[in-house]
Amino acid sequence: MTETAPRTQPRRSDTTRAAILRAARERFAADGYERATIRAIAADAKIDPSMVMRYYGSKEGLFAAAAEFDLRLPDLTAVPAGQLGETLVRHFLTRWEGDETLVALLRAASTNPGAAERMRGIFADQLTAAVATFGTDPATTARRAGLVASQILGLAFTRYIVRLPPMVDLAPEELVSWIAPTLQRYLTGRVEN
Amino acid sequence: MTETAPRTQPRRSDTTRAAILRAARERFAADGYERATIRAIAADAKIDPSMVMRYYGSKEGLFAAAAEFDLRLPDLTAVPAGQLGETLVRHFLTRWEGDETLVALLRAASTNPGAAERMRGIFADQLTAAVATFGTDPATTARRAGLVASQILGLAFTRYIVRLPPMVDLAPEELVSWIAPTLQRYLTGRVEN
DNA sequence: GTCTATAATTCGATAGAC
DNA sequence: GTCTATCGAATTATAGAC
């Protein structure tokens, strides 16, 4: 009975796996890596804790699967040179207002070395690659991407983790108009020194 | 034998308490709140774990004592208006390059509600108060302070927690020249919208 | 595939001798 | 003030029945 034909009905286990990942992302985002327990995640997903181990091997394995993240950066070569900063801030705000995976990653990166490593990879690879697409001096690409990451992650940290009142209260478009010029300068400004 | 005269010799307990706080700051900074155990802190301080409980009551109490933090912001009224951003970045960099308390607070704030509350207090009180000293519209003071905090904490997060290579490699004065204009605009730029 | 039962640690906190 | 001994709770992870 080894069925090789494509399957039309999803396996039960597929929906179970999806429910686990959903609950895991929620818990990791809300509580961080240590406080988010497999038991609590399983309870949220209405399944037995041992199923989590069966499907994902360990807590680390579960986190690795739940924290898969693609920034989905737009093609910056199609953006007018003067609107790069604005485009990026708006993209990030909409990207993570509706997806708590980045918040989960952000919280976990503070205490979990694996999560920090993944965060480094995401920004070093995806963001640096996007910055490299338009004509800046290759020697400064990594530095510019790092500076952009510092403001973008600082925005996320103060708005979603620490929840500084002024940063929580600002409307998305107000944040865009304040922060876009910062990114614009990091991306296209002249190198100092 | 209730001695009320001022004491010239410090109590033994004073040096013990200081050793505990030192070790606690190190562990909280390196591991975050959950992973830093009372047992490990006591071992670092070369004392018995029960002494930590005796002196600080609980792990929360120990953290509260270890994470006492003063930004020691300079008097901004004595700074030329055009050098506010530069002064602030340089101050923060030197302030926390030699004191791991802020890193401890930063890591703990991600998962510990009490630490997040303390971080809110520090930036809402100390930084907002400093921003209020020079003549900006009081209606925008909190917002400007929040934006400054977002870039300052983003710098700390990427440099000391996530350790993004480009942010780690930049020399302090290079960071100053890149980030100072950002803070300068948040502090003195016109309100958009 | 799903669950029960439990092993093996580890932690914060307490009681009490000295 | 300092230490030993330990409690009680919580965790990840495993073994195995159904």
CATH number at residue A105: 1.10.357
> In terms of domains, do A32 and A107 share one?
no
Protein residue minimizing CA–C1' distance to C1: A13
- Do residue A137 and residue A85 come from a single domain? yes
pLDDT tens across A35-77, in order?
Answer: 999 999 999 999 999 999 999 999 999 999 999 999 999 999 9
pLDDT-based confidence at A2, cuts 50/70/90? very low
pLDDT at B9: 56
The DSSP symbol for B47 reads S
A114 at B interface, C-beta within 8 A: no
- pTM metric for this prediction: 0.93
Do B88 and B136 lie in one domain? The reply is: yes
| Shared domain check, A113 and A183 | yes
- When pLDDT is cut at 50, 70 and 90, the band that residue B83 belongs to is very high
| Residues of chain B positioned with their CB less than 8 A from the CB of A154 | 149-155, 157-158
Alpha helices, DSSP H, located in chain B? 12-35, 38-44, 49-56, 59-66, 84-97, 101-109, 113-122, 128-132, 138-156, 165-169, 172-188
CATH of the domain at A16: 1.10.10.60
Which residue is the nearest neighbor of C10, CA to C1'?
B37
Structure tokens at A191: 């190198």
Q: How confident is the model at residue A149 (pLDDT cuts 50, 70, 90)?
A: very high
Partners of residue A167 in chain B, C-beta under 8 Å: 146-147, 149-150
Whether B3 is in a domain gets the answer no
Contact B156, B121 (CB under 8 A): no
A114 and A60 fall within a common domain: no
Q: Does residue A109 fall inside a structural domain? A: yes
Our CA-based measurement puts residue B116 at a distance from the nearest CA of chain A, in whole angstroms, of 5
User: Which nucleotides of strand D are protein-proximal, with an atom < 7 A from a CB?
Assistant: 1-5, 10-16
Task: Evaluate if residue B192 carries a pLDDT over 90.
Answer: no
Would you say residue A71 lies in a domain? Answer: no
- Mean pLDDT, to the nearest integer, of B128-145? 92
Residue A2 resides in a domain: no
Query: B190 pLDDT band (50/70/90 cuts)?
Result: confident
**Count of domains forming chain A:** 2
**Beta carbons of B150 and A167 less than 8 Å apart:** yes
- pLDDT at residue A1 greater than cutoff 50: no
Residues of A in contact with B34 (CB under 8 A): 32, 34-35, 111
B99 in A contact zone (CB under 8 Å): no
Residue nearest to nucleotide D10 (CA to C1'): A37
The predicted-structure confidence for B170-182, as pLDDT tens digits, reads as follows 999 999 999 999 9
Give me the domain span that covers residue B170: 76-188
- Examine the pLDDT at B32 and tell me if it is beyond 60: yes
B4 in any annotated domain: no
For residues B193 and A141, the model is more confident at A141
Average pLDDT, integer, range B63-70: 95
Which pLDDT band holds residue B7 (cuts at 50, 70, 90)? low
Q: Which residues contact B21 (CB under 8 A, 6 or more apart)?
A: B65, B66
In B 20-49, which Cβ lie closer than 7 Å to strand D? 47-49
Is A112 within the bounds of a domain? yes
Residue B45, pLDDT above cutoff 70: yes
Mean of the pLDDT values across residues A88-116? 95
A162 touches chain B (CB under 8 A): yes
Query: Does B121 fall in a domain?
Result: yes
- Whether residue B146 sits in one domain with residue B92: yes
Q: Is residue A3 domain-resident?
A: no
With 50 as the cut, is the pLDDT of residue B133 above it?
yes
Same domain, B80 and B57: no
Mean pLDDT of A104-114: 95
**Residue B10 pLDDT > 70, yes or no?**
no
B154 and B108, same structural domain?
A: yes
Do B136 and B95 fall within a single domain? Answer: yes
Question: Which bases along strand C come within 7 Å of a protein CB atom?
Answer: 1-5, 10-16
φ, ψ dihedrals at B47, nearest 5°? -135, 175
Say if residue A81 is in the same domain as residue A59: no
B21 and B53 share one domain: yes
Shared domain for B121 and B171, answered yes or no, is yes
User: Residue A9: what pLDDT?
Assistant: 56
Residues contacting residue B184 through CB under 8 Å, at least 6 positions apart: B82, B84, B85, B86
Nucleotide nearest to A50 (CA to C1'): C3
Contacts of B27 in chain A (CB under 8 A): none
